Structures are given as structure tokens and as C-alpha cells.
């Protein structure tokens, strides 16, 4: 439980933690950010790592004088996002559902139900799922994995992978860069993170409610 509480604290106060990381590791911060995004998008059993909030907070930090260079950071995070999804695709293609047997702290990390929901995304949106999933936590990590399981043509996958990465990384990082220093946002960052998470999972909530409504309609 302590690990979970630490992770929640890191996500909700990631702006402060990033400042500490920059102070302690300076230029190595670029590598740390690269690795977090690469692992979050590339390792199917790590969907709980921060994604949207990290990009927003990194953009905020880059807006500060003498901190991170926004363009170097965007380039590296783009690279991490594209490489991460490609790795995840390869894991799905070569290992498939065997990954669902992996357990962390005695609990199954990737559940078959989550895989099935991601399959439903593919059925509705097709290859565009790779782009849309970038903005949906958990689905973001599972979508390329499911694409690999389904043997999606790699050229098609890579195209949507790059488009999704550009929209996700550039959009959210620049939002943090230009909006992060507005006092009401800067002083209420944990609430902003919760809002980002809520907006990210809104499509899932909508689909669940829609599915329940349709079932009641049939009955």
C-alpha cells in the first residue's frame, strides 16, 4: 500500500517532484522524463505511471527561466512515446495474452477485461484507436499491445503511432508551457491533475453509460 500512496502523491504533486528532480539531477532530468514516458507507453504492465500529468508538469517547468529547454524536451518525449508504442506492439505480437499472467505484488496487473475493452475500442474506431488511446489512461498502454496481438500491419500502426504521439506530447506539453504559470493553475496543480485525469477517462465513462443505456433500452 505504501508504494501505491507514494505513486498517488507523485502524480498529484508531480510539479514539485519535477523541481526536486531538476535540482538533484539537472541535465539528467531529460533522460528521466524520457524513461518514464517510454516505460508508461512501452511496457504493457506499467499503465499506472503518470503520462498526461507528467507532460503538463514538464511543460510548466520548461516555462521557468534557466530550467528545461521546451524543444529539446518535446523532441525527446516524442521519441520516447513513438518508441514506447512500438515496443508495446512488439510485445503483443510476440507474447500475446501470456502477459496477462504477470503479477506485481501478488496481483494481476493486466487483466483480460481490460484487453477486451481495448478490443472494443478497436472495433469502434479501427486503426484510429492508436491516436485516440493516447489521451486515455490504461487504454494508452494497452492499445499498441492489442494492435500487436491482432497483427495490425506495422506500417499502418507506425503512421498512427507517430500522429498520436505528436498530438499527445506536443499538445499537452505546450498546454503546460503556456498555461502552467497562470496563478490559479499553478497554485491548484493537484486539482488540475485530477481534472486532466477526469477528462482523460471521460470517453470510457461515456461508453460505459451508453452501453448500459442501450441494454436497458433493449430490455
Taking the C-alpha atoms of residue 51 and residue 122, their distance in angstroms, rounded to an integer, is 21
pLDDT in tens, 121-159: 777 777 788 888 888 877 888 888 888 887 788 898 999
3-class secondary structure, 68: coil
Total domains in the fold of the chain: 1
3-class secondary structure, 137: coil
Taking the C-alpha atoms of residue 182 and residue 33, their distance in angstroms, rounded to an integer, is 23
Domain with 155 in it: 2-218
**CB-CB contact of 60 with 175 (8 Å):** no
Average pLDDT over residues 107-114: 66
- Look at the block and give the residue holding cell 496481438: 149
- pLDDT of 77 strictly over 70: yes
**CB-CB contact of 126 with 132 (8 Å):** no
> The pTM is what?
0.79
Amino acid at each position: 500500500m505504501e508504494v501505491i500512496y507514494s505513486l498517488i502523491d507523485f502524480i498529484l504533486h508531480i510539479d514539485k517532484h519535477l523541481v526536486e528532480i531538476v535540482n538533484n539531477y539537472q541535465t539528467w532530468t531529460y533522460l528521466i522524463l524520457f524513461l518514464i514516458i517510454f516505460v508508461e507507453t512501452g511496457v504493457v504492465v506499467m499503465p499506472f505511471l503518470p503520462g498526461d500529468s507528467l507532460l503538463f508538469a514538464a511543460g510548466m517547468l520548461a516555462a521557468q527561466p534557466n530550467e528545461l529547454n521546451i524543444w529539446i524536451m518535446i523532441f525527446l518525449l516524442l521519441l520516447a512515446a513513438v518508441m514506447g508504442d512500438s515496443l508495446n506492439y512488439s510485445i503483443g505480437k510476440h507474447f500475446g495474452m501470456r502477459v496477462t499472467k504477470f503479477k506485481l505484488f501478488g496481483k494481476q496487473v493486466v487483466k483480460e477485461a481490460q484487453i477486451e475493452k481495448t478490443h472494443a475500442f478497436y472495433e469502434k474506431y479501427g486503426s484510429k484507436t492508436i491516436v485516440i488511446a493516447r489521451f486515455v489512461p490504461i487504454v494508452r498502454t494497452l492499445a499498441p499491445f492489442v494492435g500487436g496481438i491482432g497483427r495490425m500491419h506495422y506500417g499502418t500502426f507506425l503512421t498512427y503511432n507517430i500522429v498520436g504521439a505528436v498530438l499527445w506530447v506536443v499538445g499537452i506539453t505546450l498546454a503546460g508551457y503556456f498555461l502552467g504559470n497562470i496563478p490559479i493553475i499553478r497554485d491548484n496543480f493537484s486539482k488540475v491533475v485530477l481534472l486532466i485525469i477526469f477528462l482523460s477517462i471521460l470517453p470510457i465513462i461515456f461508453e460505459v453509460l451508453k452501453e448500459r443505456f442501450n441494454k436497458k433500452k433493449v430490455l
